[in-house]
Amino acid sequence: MKDLVCRPSNGFGLLELMVALVAFSLLVALAVPAYTGMVDRARVAGAIGDIGSLAVEIDRFSVNNNDRLPATLSELPIEIPLDPWGNEYQYLNIRTAGSGNGAFRKDGNLNPLNSDFDLYSMGSDGETAGPLSAGKSRDDIVRANNGAFLGLGEDY
Protein backbone atom coordinates (compact mmCIF):
# COMPACT_ATOMS: atom_id res chain seq x y z
CA MET A 1 0.00 0.00 0.00
CA LYS A 2 2.95 2.30 0.30
CA ASP A 3 3.20 2.46 -3.50
CA LEU A 4 -0.15 4.26 -3.88
CA VAL A 5 1.06 7.58 -2.41
CA CYS A 6 0.46 10.62 -4.69
CA ARG A 7 3.61 12.40 -5.76
CA PRO A 8 3.57 16.00 -7.01
CA SER A 9 4.59 16.51 -10.65
CA ASN A 10 7.59 18.70 -11.45
CA GLY A 11 6.52 20.02 -14.89
CA PHE A 12 4.00 22.47 -16.31
CA GLY A 13 0.52 21.28 -17.04
CA LEU A 14 -1.34 22.11 -20.22
CA LEU A 15 -3.40 24.82 -18.49
CA GLU A 16 -0.34 26.65 -17.17
CA LEU A 17 1.30 26.49 -20.58
CA MET A 18 -1.81 27.93 -22.27
CA VAL A 19 -2.01 30.81 -19.75
CA ALA A 20 1.65 31.67 -20.32
CA LEU A 21 1.15 31.58 -24.11
CA VAL A 22 -1.87 33.90 -23.93
CA ALA A 23 0.00 36.36 -21.69
CA PHE A 24 3.00 36.38 -24.05
CA SER A 25 0.74 36.92 -27.07
CA LEU A 26 -0.93 39.91 -25.39
CA LEU A 27 2.44 41.48 -24.61
CA VAL A 28 3.60 41.04 -28.21
CA ALA A 29 0.31 42.43 -29.56
CA LEU A 30 0.80 45.59 -27.50
CA ALA A 31 4.57 46.00 -27.95
CA VAL A 32 4.93 45.58 -31.73
CA PRO A 33 2.62 48.48 -32.76
CA ALA A 34 4.19 50.73 -30.13
CA TYR A 35 7.67 49.89 -31.42
CA THR A 36 6.79 50.49 -35.07
CA GLY A 37 5.15 53.80 -34.13
CA MET A 38 8.33 54.85 -32.35
CA VAL A 39 10.44 53.87 -35.36
CA ASP A 40 8.19 55.91 -37.69
CA ARG A 41 8.38 58.96 -35.42
CA ALA A 42 12.16 58.63 -35.23
CA ARG A 43 12.42 58.52 -39.03
CA VAL A 44 10.26 61.63 -39.37
CA ALA A 45 12.38 63.42 -36.76
CA GLY A 46 15.54 62.39 -38.62
CA ALA A 47 14.19 63.75 -41.90
CA ILE A 48 13.19 67.02 -40.22
CA GLY A 49 16.71 67.33 -38.83
CA ASP A 50 18.30 66.58 -42.20
CA ILE A 51 16.09 69.11 -43.99
CA GLY A 52 16.92 71.74 -41.37
CA SER A 53 20.65 71.06 -41.78
CA LEU A 54 20.42 71.15 -45.58
CA ALA A 55 18.49 74.44 -45.42
CA VAL A 56 21.27 75.93 -43.26
CA GLU A 57 23.86 74.75 -45.79
CA ILE A 58 21.83 76.28 -48.64
CA ASP A 59 21.64 79.58 -46.75
CA ARG A 60 25.40 79.43 -46.10
CA PHE A 61 25.98 78.76 -49.82
CA SER A 62 23.78 81.75 -50.67
CA VAL A 63 25.73 84.06 -48.34
CA ASN A 64 29.06 82.91 -49.78
CA ASN A 65 27.88 83.25 -53.41
CA ASN A 66 26.32 86.74 -53.61
CA ASP A 67 22.77 85.62 -52.72
CA ARG A 68 22.75 82.89 -55.40
CA LEU A 69 21.02 79.64 -54.48
CA PRO A 70 22.49 76.35 -55.70
CA ALA A 71 20.89 74.88 -58.82
CA THR A 72 21.05 71.40 -57.25
CA LEU A 73 21.97 69.99 -53.86
CA SER A 74 25.16 68.55 -55.36
CA GLU A 75 26.59 72.10 -55.50
CA LEU A 76 26.73 72.20 -51.71
CA PRO A 77 30.17 71.50 -50.23
CA ILE A 78 28.85 68.65 -48.06
CA GLU A 79 27.85 65.05 -48.58
CA ILE A 80 24.08 64.95 -49.16
CA PRO A 81 22.45 62.21 -47.05
CA LEU A 82 19.57 60.03 -48.16
CA ASP A 83 16.32 60.42 -46.27
CA PRO A 84 15.53 57.80 -43.57
CA TRP A 85 13.62 55.72 -46.15
CA GLY A 86 16.59 55.57 -48.55
CA ASN A 87 15.38 58.19 -51.06
CA GLU A 88 17.07 61.40 -52.15
CA TYR A 89 15.90 64.70 -50.73
CA GLN A 90 14.04 66.77 -53.32
CA TYR A 91 15.18 70.33 -54.05
CA LEU A 92 13.96 73.02 -56.42
CA ASN A 93 15.44 76.51 -56.74
CA ILE A 94 12.25 78.56 -57.22
CA ARG A 95 14.10 81.73 -58.16
CA THR A 96 15.62 80.16 -61.28
CA ALA A 97 12.73 77.79 -62.09
CA GLY A 98 10.38 80.62 -63.05
CA SER A 99 6.79 81.30 -62.11
CA GLY A 100 5.34 78.97 -64.75
CA ASN A 101 6.96 75.87 -63.26
CA GLY A 102 4.31 73.48 -61.98
CA ALA A 103 6.79 71.57 -59.78
CA PHE A 104 6.43 73.98 -56.85
CA ARG A 105 5.07 72.46 -53.65
CA LYS A 106 1.66 73.92 -52.84
CA ASP A 107 -0.65 74.01 -49.84
CA GLY A 108 -4.30 72.95 -49.87
CA ASN A 109 -5.27 76.26 -51.53
CA LEU A 110 -2.64 75.72 -54.25
CA ASN A 111 -0.45 78.55 -52.97
CA PRO A 112 3.32 77.90 -53.17
CA LEU A 113 4.84 76.80 -49.84
CA ASN A 114 8.03 78.83 -50.34
CA SER A 115 9.30 81.76 -52.39
CA ASP A 116 13.01 80.87 -52.33
CA PHE A 117 13.43 77.08 -52.66
CA ASP A 118 11.55 73.85 -52.04
CA LEU A 119 13.26 71.16 -49.99
CA TYR A 120 11.45 68.00 -48.90
CA SER A 121 11.46 64.25 -48.41
CA MET A 122 8.87 62.11 -50.16
CA GLY A 123 8.20 60.26 -46.91
CA SER A 124 7.68 56.60 -46.19
CA ASP A 125 5.82 55.78 -49.41
CA GLY A 126 8.49 57.38 -51.65
CA GLU A 127 5.78 59.13 -53.68
CA THR A 128 4.60 62.71 -53.80
CA ALA A 129 2.24 65.07 -55.56
CA GLY A 130 2.38 68.86 -55.89
CA PRO A 131 -0.24 69.96 -53.37
CA LEU A 132 0.05 68.82 -49.77
CA SER A 133 -3.66 67.98 -49.76
CA ALA A 134 -3.03 65.07 -52.15
CA GLY A 135 -2.95 61.64 -50.53
CA LYS A 136 0.59 60.90 -51.76
CA SER A 137 1.88 64.08 -50.08
CA ARG A 138 0.39 63.59 -46.61
CA ASP A 139 3.50 61.71 -45.38
CA ASP A 140 6.02 64.07 -47.01
CA ILE A 141 8.36 65.99 -44.73
CA VAL A 142 8.44 69.55 -46.02
CA ARG A 143 10.05 72.91 -45.50
CA ALA A 144 7.40 75.64 -45.81
CA ASN A 145 7.01 79.39 -45.27
CA ASN A 146 10.65 79.90 -46.30
CA GLY A 147 11.84 77.76 -43.40
CA ALA A 148 9.39 78.82 -40.70
CA PHE A 149 7.79 75.33 -40.82
CA LEU A 150 9.54 71.95 -40.95
CA GLY A 151 7.38 68.87 -40.56
CA LEU A 152 4.88 66.44 -41.99
CA GLY A 153 2.79 67.63 -44.90
CA GLU A 154 -0.39 66.59 -43.11
CA ASP A 155 0.53 68.88 -40.18
CA TYR A 156 0.94 71.98 -42.35
**Residue 133's pLDDT is what?**
85
A 10 A CB-CB count for 51 gives 22
Q: Which domain holds residue 133?
A: 16-155
In a domain, 6, yes or no: no
Determine the pLDDT at residue 9. Answer: 63
In a domain, 7, yes or no: no
Dump pLDDT digits (tens) for 88-125.
999 999 888 766 656 788 888 888 889 899 999 999 89
* Total domains present in the chain: 1
For the CA atoms of 50, 55, 56, 57, the dihedral, rounded to the nearest 10 degrees, stands at 90
pLDDT of residue 42: 95
Q: Give pLDDT, residue 72.
A: 93
Write down the pLDDT at residue 97.
77
Q: Residue 11 falls within a domain, yes or no?
A: no
